């Protein structure tokens, strides 16, 4: 009789461990993985837009007349660019005039914005995407490991639950 009570206690213990420890860990790992995936999507979208912008304004690296101090494109040679700017998660846009479309500010993390030329920004984004890909792989493997732990714990609960009728019938 006491072994049945002990078995019930173990089942409660494992169920509590699953619901209070493993499932929140799994949710946090999945959320972190999804956030990294969303970051990668945003950077990929930005890279594509910058490449399109670069093609549209027709940067010509061979022309020295377009370069200013330090080999940077001269703002005087740039035509202002009109654009719609997303100000509310792709639901609200406003018109903007970009006086020098050859430079952009990119959020590099921790609240810092860095001014880049289009080529520098694309290069930075490529490096950032490689880094985020490694982070995504790591976070996915962590989530998979926790999911396996949840699966194993649930199997153990099933086995413990299956032992209860065997004990009572003998």
Q: Where are the domains of the chain?
A: 2-59+130-169
- pLDDT tens readout for residues 116-159: 999 999 999 999 999 999 999 999 999 999 999 999 999 988 88
Burial class of 63 by CB neighbour count within 10 A (0 to 12, 13 to 18, 19+): exposed
pLDDT of residue 61: 44
- What average pLDDT does this structure show over 37-48? 96
Structure tokens at 43: 């950077």
Mean pLDDT of 105-110: 92
Q: Give how far Cα 14 sits from Cα of 4, 11, 112, 166, Å.
A: 15, 5, 45, 20
Whether the pTM exceeds 0.85: the reply is no
Which pLDDT belongs to residue 95? 94
Specify whether the CB–CB gap between 72 and 117 falls below 8 A. Answer: yes
What pLDDT shows up at residue 141? 98
pLDDT score recorded for residue 77? 65
Give the closest residue to 7 by CA, choosing from 157, 170, 169: 157
The H or E element that residue 79 is part of is none
Which residues sit opposite 82 in a β-bridge? 97
Tokens of 115: 């001014």
């Amino acid at each position: 009789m006491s072994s049945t009570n002990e078995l019930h206690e173990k089942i409660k213990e494992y169920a509590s461990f699953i619901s209070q420890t493993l499932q929140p860990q799994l949710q946090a790992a999945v959320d972190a993985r999804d956030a990294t995936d969303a970051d990668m999507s945003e950077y990929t979208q930005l890279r594509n837009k910058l490449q399109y912008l670069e093609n549209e304004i027709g940067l010509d690296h061979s022309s020295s007349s377009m370069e200013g101090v330090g080999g940077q494109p001269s703002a005087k040679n740039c035509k202002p660019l009109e654009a719609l700017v997303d100000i509310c998660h792709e639901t609200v846009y406003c018109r903007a005039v970009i006086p020098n479309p050859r430079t952009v500010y990119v959020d590099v993390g921790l609240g810092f914005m860095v001014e880049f030329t289009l080529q520098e920004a694309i290069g930075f984004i490529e490096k950032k995407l490689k880094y985020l890909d490694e982070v995504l792989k790591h976070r996915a493997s962590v989530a998979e490991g926790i999911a396996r732990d949840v699966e194993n714990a649930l199997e153990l609960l099933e086995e413990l639950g299956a032992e209860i009728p065997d004990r009572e019938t003998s």
